[in-house]
Amino acid sequence: MIIYTDGACSGNPGPGGFGVVVLDDDENLITYHSERSDNTTNNREELKSILWAFLRFGEDAPTVYSDSAYAVNTLTSWMFNWAKNGWIKSDNKTPENLDLIKPFFEYWQKGYRINLRKVKGHAGNRWNELADRLATGKN
């Protein structure tokens, strides 16, 4: 299974949303999903898109693509150090979006997995572009 995710926001904070595109291993479209929020940030929507995919498909360990360096770094590296340090960053501040990061971490501890990869955004990738349109509401 292959999943493309994206989050978007008009203003930061402002109205926004996320989009998720789910494909089989041959890149045939299985389904897609989007949600809107009235007052959010880009980073929150990026994390929400990945969390949505993770909670629905994490037992199958899909490959998940995101164009957000923040989200990929948070969920593949930073959160483990933050958890070890009592959810405190190296600058002694609390990480933003912990309400989204902690559930991901808890499910990861239970054995759920995704293969999260960074993809370049707005580079003509068909499925990333669809996830973006879903996130911005321009589908």
Strand ranges inside the chain, DSSP E? 2-9, 14-23, 29-40, 63-66, 115-118
Task: For residue 26, indicate whether it is catalytic.
Answer: no
- Per the CB < 8 A criterion, the answer to whether 65 and 5 are in contact is yes
Active-site residue (options: 25, 38, 122, 124): 122
Catalytic residue among 16, 17, 45, 46: 46
Is 122 designated active site? Answer: yes
Q: Is 35 a catalytic residue?
A: no
- Active-site residue identified among 7, 16, 19, 58: 7
Question: Of 16, 45, 58, 67, which residue is the catalytic one?
Answer: 67
Known catalytic residue at 99: no
Residue 132 appears among annotated catalytic residues? yes
Report residue 62: phi and psi, to 5°. Answer: -75, 165
Please pick, among 17, 19, 45, 132, the residue that the annotation labels catalytic.
Answer: 132
CA–CA gap between residue 16 and residue 10 (Å, rounded): 6
Which residues are catalytically annotated? 6-7, 46, 67, 122, 132
